[in-house]
Structures are given as C-alpha cells and as structure tokens.
Amino acid sequence: MNRLTEFMLPPAKSTTAGEVDALFHFINVTSIILLAGITFTIIYFAWKYRRRSEDDVTPVITHNSKLEITWSVIPLILVMIVFGWGLSGYMNLTTAPDDAYEVRVVAKSWLWEFHYQNGHVSVNELHVPVDRPVKLVMSSDDVIHSFFVPDYRIKRDVLPNRYTSVWFEAIETGESIIHCTEYCGRAHSDMNATVFVHTQEDFETWLESADAIDEDMPPAERGEALVTRSGCMACHSTDGSRMVGPTFQGLWMAERTMEDGEVVTADENYIRESILEPNARINEGYDPVMPSYQGTLSDRQIDDIIEYIKTLD
C-alpha cells in the first residue's frame, strides 16, 4: 500500500491525510475489481453464448429477481460505505479542534498573505508549529482563489466577501507547497506559497523575531529581502524585462506616463503611493492588478524597498 500511496499521492503529512487516502484507495481498488470482473464476464459470456447454429435462438427471459436484487444491493452497500466514510471525513475536515492556532489568510491576485495572532504578517510563507491543529480563516481581496496543500490533502475555495476555513495538524517539521487551485488570472500558476512547519519552540522564536528589523543590514539589502518575501517578484523584474508590472530597473526618478496621460517622476512619494494605493494611478499600458500592501508593509519596510529600488539603475 505504501508503494501505491507514493505512486499516486505525495507523502501524507497531516493527521487527517491518512483518512482521505484510505477512502481514495478504497474507491480505487473497488473500481478496479469491478472493472476487471465486469470486463472478464462480458468477454466470457460473449464467447460462451456465441451463436453456434442457424436455429440457435435465445429463450425469452422476462426477469430474474435473485440476480436483479444482487446487482442492486451490492452497489447500494458500496455507495453507502463511500457516503458514510466520506461524510465522516468531511465533517472531521470542516470542524477545527477548539484549541487550534488561528491564522488569517488573505488571498490577493496573485499572492497569499498570512496574518498571525501577534499582528505579524508574512507573504507567501505560512509558518506553523508541528503537532498542533492550525485553523485558517480565509478570504479574498478580489476574485475567487482556492487554497490547496497536497501534502495535507486539504483544499478549500477562498472567496471575496465571505470567510471560509480549513484546518490541519502537521505531523512532521519541514516544508510543504501551497497552490492556488482556482484559475484567477494571468499569474495564477505563480500563486504558490510554502508552509514551514517548526517545532513549537522554533515557531515562537520565528513569531517574535519575524518583525524585528535587522539593524546590522544596510536598508537596501533589507529592501531586497523584502521584495522577495512580499511576492513583488511575481510581477516585477529587476533586469529590465517587462512582466505583469513594469521593471524596477531604472525606476528611480524615471518619468512614468500614466493611463490618463499624466507624467509622474518616480520619487519616494510615487513609489510609496504605488505600494499602498496601487490603483490611485495606473501606468499606461498596464492592468490595475497590483494588490495594496496597506497593512502588510510597515513604513520602515517601505523605506527599505525604496532604498533598494534606488540601487537598481
């Protein structure tokens, strides 16, 4: 069974994944047995009851109660097993344990934001403790997205104007991939994130230190780390190439033409506004798709990003 699991599904790394897999394999194995049995029977009967002579006529058969009941009851039992098993698994997956650690998830085209109980926000990185249920309360800032962690066998749509939630308990430390599984526009396939599972101790250390600014690092270097961590690079390049958004290369003090024809110089205020209110002014030839980082990036962090952009000429 282990071989089979690995062949079809990634390793199961949550407490509930085993139950999902068991049902999946039950349905698969039952289907294969039925497929083989029915195919064999069809071929065997086609051969056994083949026409042997001119006057070989099939007698009129109106019905066969025993057979009909058998082929109705067996599938009914199978379907009820799958229903009961599926329902209990579904209920288990939808009701988070009371002591779950809660994280707010905000989906934006095309990144994931995770808001922790101490006010810290991480982008495209979900940090959680091992062996502790984690409940995610999710919503979207724009279109419908879907939160999927293959290793945990959990998937739930993330909607605008409504909360949905999902929970999991990781059983080992390490990393797992998060995918968006609802087509949400041009960079949908880049809308991935990572779950980092820590020991309880490491998790607390991470939570405490995550917001601390490394004073020993030059601001431009902190800015560079921030644009990577904040998902900016899904849409912006630093080598001059045009992606979903304009490149950061040569942006500092450049003249940018807006949709309405206004020409703006890319100074501190312009960059700050672009990050906090991206839709206040839209660059000519680009779509208004950048998410706002209001509440995600602090003033100090925006300073660091500006310092970094200054170095990219």
CB of 65 to Cu ion, least distance (A): 54
Q: Alpha-carbon distance 35 to 32, whole Å?
A: 5
The reply to whether 156 sits near Cu ion by the rule CB under 5 A is no
Q: How many Cα atoms are found within 13 Å in the side-chain-facing hemisphere of 141?
A: 17
Show the DSSP H helices in the chain as ranges.
2-8, 17-48, 65-94, 200-210, 219-229, 268-276, 299-310
CB of 87 to ligand HEC, least distance (A): 39
User: Which of Cu ion, ligand HEC, none has residue 282 at its interface (CB below 5 to 8 Å by kind)?
Assistant: ligand HEC
Considering the complex, state which of residue 223 and residue 291 has its C-beta at the smaller distance from Cu ion.
Answer: 291
Per CB under 6 A, residues contacting ligand HEC are: 109-111, 227, 230-232, 234-236, 244-246, 251, 256, 266, 271, 274-275, 278, 282-283, 286-290, 293, 305
Considering the complex, state which of residue 145 and residue 236 has its C-beta at the smaller distance from Cu ion.
Answer: 145
Cα angle 92, 128, 97 (rounded to 5 degrees) comes to 25
- Residue 9: count other Cβ atoms within 10 Å of its Cβ: 16
Which listed residue (17, 191, 195, 235) binds Cu ion by CB under 5 A? 191
Cα angle 195, 196, 197 (rounded to 5 degrees) comes to 110
Considering the complex, state which of residue 96 and residue 191 has its C-beta at the smaller distance from Cu ion.
Answer: 191
User: Which of Cu ion, ligand HEC, none has residue 290 at its interface (CB below 5 to 8 Å by kind)?
Assistant: ligand HEC
Which listed residue (103, 136, 180, 207) binds Cu ion by CB under 5 A? 180
For residues 113 to 152, the per-residue mask of contacts with Cu ion, x marking binding by CB under 5 A and - elsewhere, is --------------------------------x-------
Considering the complex, state which of residue 123 and residue 305 has its C-beta at the smaller distance from Cu ion.
Answer: 123
Q: Alpha-carbon distance 207 to 301, whole Å?
A: 17
Report the SS3 class of residue 310: helix
User: Which of ligand HEC, Cu ion, none has residue 305 at its interface (CB below 5 to 8 Å by kind)?
Assistant: ligand HEC
Q: Alpha-carbon distance 242 to 263, whole Å?
A: 19
Q: Alpha-carbon distance 10 to 88, whole Å?
A: 23
Region of 20-28, 177-185, 214-222, 243-251 interacting with Cu ion (CB under 5 A): 177-185
Identify the bridge partners of residue 176 per DSSP, sorted by sequence position.
195
User: Which of ligand HEC, Cu ion, none has residue 256 at its interface (CB below 5 to 8 Å by kind)?
Assistant: ligand HEC
User: Which of Cu ion, ligand HEC, none has residue 180 at its interface (CB below 5 to 8 Å by kind)?
Assistant: Cu ion
Tokens linked to 295: 């509440």
User: Which of Cu ion, ligand HEC, none has residue 274 at its interface (CB below 5 to 8 Å by kind)?
Assistant: ligand HEC
Residue 174 in contact with residue 13, Cβ under 8 Å?
Answer: yes
Q: How far is CA 127 from the centre of its chain?
A: 15
Report the SS3 class of residue 216: coil
Contact residues toward Cu ion (CB under 5 A) are: 145, 180, 184, 191
